[in-house]
Amino acid sequence: MGVAETYPSQWNPGGQAKGIWRFRWDAGGSNLIHSYRETRSSGTFEGNGVFTVDGEKGQLLWFWFDNHGFPPLNPSVGTWSDDGALVLAKTTPRGVGTSVFRLHEDNILQFSATSQAVGESTHSPVVSGIYRRQQ
């Protein structure tokens, strides 16, 4: 559970939000399934994702579904940054999205996302949050 700063977009007026991530392995232990729920003054945002590995390419893939309603036409592809963060990037007909998961000591997850809409020259922040694991 944690607190996130959301930024103005066509889906959200921006502001502080409370969020919770839940992670679990699938029955076979090869896919990491997760959900996210964010409560903000303007309503609730919910999403579900699956991390998996493309066995042929050896790439980490992220499929994400949320209540904005855009189906994942293709997955985000993950790479590891020099400081150990998982950086996931995806291109869709709407533009480019980047999400970053960073684990810290004491069971803290830092998550951020940016987007670059078609026709724009820079990425804009979408959300940035710090979440603490609940025992």
pLDDT digits (tens, 9 = 90+) for 5-42: 999 987 789 999 999 999 999 999 999 999 999 999 88
% of the chain beyond a pLDDT of 70:
100
* Bridge partners, residue 14, by sequence: none
pLDDT digits (tens, 9 = 90+) for 91-117: 998 899 999 999 998 899 999 999 998
Surface-to-core class of residue 51, CB atoms within 10 Å of its CB (0-12 exposed, 13-18 middle, 19+ buried): buried
pTM of the model: 0.92
Residues 6 or more apart whose CB falls under 8 angstroms from that of 92 comprise 70, 73, 74
Domains and CATH numbers, the chain: 2-132 (2.40.128.20)
Average pLDDT of the chain, as a whole number: 93
Task: Compute how many other C-beta atoms are within 10 angstroms of the C-beta atom of residue 62.
Answer: 21
Backbone φ/ψ region at 43: left (φ over 0), alpha (ψ -120 to 50), beta: left
